[in-house]
Amino acid sequence: MSSKIFLVDTNVLSELARREPNAGVLAWSRTLSRISVSVIVIEEIFFGLAWKPNQRIQAWLEEFMDVHCEICPVTTEAAKLAGRLRGDMASRGETRTQADMIIAATAQINQQTLVTRNIRDFTDCGISVLNPFS
């Protein structure tokens, strides 16, 4: 099992909840016993489940999070760093979402690799990024 701590983005957690997840995501996940998940990702997942309810996915997520996830809160340090990241990007004409910059800041502060399909959303954020879909 890997000892490296990974912060998982919404699209990866959603993929794992599918009946037939992407082979690369599944292979990557089988090397781990625990992952980290930002509270931002939890909000995004439960927004999606409220918008399009799916009891199977909700039950799977609840159990998966209880057993395999370390939940990362949004700390004051992460909020400040996310604001600086987003402000720096905006000053260069690049738009990034508040949610993504909070996730990036959390990964940076905790020295975690962010696992996501959306590599471009996290370019120039000072973090390691892994796309298990490729």
Top CATH class of 6-130 equals: alpha beta
Give per-residue pLDDT as tens, 88-106.
999 999 999 999 999 999 9
The whole-angstrom separation of Cα 3 and Cα 7 is 13
Q: What is the pLDDT of residue 133?
A: 97
Strand partners, 129: 114
Instruction: State what percent of residues in the chain have pLDDT above 70.
Output: 97
Distances (CA, A) of 91 to 7, 36, 65, 95, 98: 27, 31, 37, 9, 15
Confidence of residue 5 (pLDDT cuts 50, 70, 90): confident
Q: Are 86 and 104 in contact, with CB atoms under 8 Å apart?
A: no
Question: What would the two tokens of residue 116 be?
Answer: 């996501």
Strand partners, 8: 37, 115
Give per-residue pLDDT as tens, 19-65.
999 999 999 999 998 999 999 999 999 999 999 999 999 999 999 99
The whole model's pTM is what?
0.94
